[in-house]
Chains A and B, each alone.
Chain A
Amino acid sequence: MKVYGTRIKGHRERWVVKGKGRYFWVRRDRKGRFRAYGKWSPKEPLEKTLFTEIEPLIVEYETGKEALGKVREVVKEWEWIDFEAES
């Protein structure tokens, strides 16, 4: 069983998506005013403390119930990036 998605650990800055297949990060100040932007790639973390993983999580299981429990745990453990909501 696999869980797909772009998931992230630790602090992160705001993301924005511009166009298909091109991802940018955007930094804003406390009042939400634009400060800077740059091209983003999942291979290059924005900060040293930041860790982004796009590989699928593989969940081993024997019964369906066990799989459901394990996937629920895994899903809660990570923060999942929602590109559409933040674009």
Chain B
Amino acid sequence: MVHNWVNTGYCIGFNTDRGLMLDLDNMRFKKALWLAETLLKKHKLEGFLLIKSSDKNYHAVFNRYLSWRAITEILFSQHECFRWAVFQMKEGQLTLRVSKKNNKDKPKVLLKVGKTDKLIRDYLEIYEKFENF
């Protein structure tokens, strides 16, 4: 596997170990939405934010604060998240990009569903502050 270098300048990521965030790569919008809604209902995550990072690549941020144990359990309950989850487990934190990277644009917020007063608020605070990055 070729390492995905940041080959132009730098890139900024939002990282947390207090709540659930997902990187949904190689997926259609419908599938990403279905996955976010399923996890929301199944684990009572209060709300989610769906973000488009590039074509067929989406990010999801869930509102509820969770323990690291709960986060790992949820991540490994869905086979779509396995690959990303393994890399995040190595670091002990979940990280999502909030700035431009190489030739990819800054991620764009598509949908807000349910409550947005906890982790989503933290994410959006950073997302808006780094508007020009």
Residues of A within 8 A of B (CB): 1-7, 17, 20-21, 56, 58, 63-65, 67-68, 71, 75, 80, 82-85
**A1 B2 Cβ-Cβ under 8 A:** no
Q: Which residues of B contact A5 (CB under 8 A)?
A: 6, 9-11
Type the 1/0 row for B8-47, where 1 means its CB is closer than 8 Å to any CB of A: 1111111100000000000000000000000000000000
Docked CA distance A85–B8 (Å) = 8
B130 at the interface (CB under 8 A from A): yes
| Interchain CA distance A4-B24 in the complex, whole Å | 20
* Among all A-B residue pairs, the 9 with the closest Cβ atoms: A5-B10, A83-B7, A21-B2, A64-B129, A64-B125, A2-B13, A4-B11, A5-B6, A68-B129
B5, B101, B126, B128: the one contacting A1 at CB < 8 Å is: B126
Q: Quick one: closest A residue to B102, CB to CB? A: A84
Q: Is the pair A6, B6 in contact by a Cβ cutoff of 8 Å? A: yes
Query: How many contacting A-B pairs (Cβ < 8 A)?
Result: 60
Q: SS class of chain B's interface: helix, strand, loop or mixed?
A: mixed
* Shortest distance between the CB of B2 and any CB in chain A (Å): 4
> Is B8 a contact of A83 with CB atoms below 8 Å?
yes
Closest to A19 in B: B2
Chain B interface residues (CB < 8 Å from chain A):
2-3, 5-15, 95, 101-102, 125-126, 128-130, 133
Q: Given the known A-B contacts A82-B8, A83-B8, are A56 and B13 also in contact in the complex, defined by CB atoms under 8 Å? A: yes
Question: What is the minimal beta-carbon distance from A37 to any residue of chain B, in angstroms?
Answer: 18
Residues of B within 8 Å of A17, CB to CB, are 7
B17 CB → nearest A CB, Å: 12
Smallest beta-carbon distance B57→chain A, Å: 17
Q: A64-B125, A64-B126, A67-B126 are in contact. Are A3 and B5 (CB under 8 A)?
A: no
Does A6 contact B5, Cβ atoms closer than 8 Å?
yes
**A71-B6 contact given A1-B126, A64-B126, CB 8 Å threshold:** no
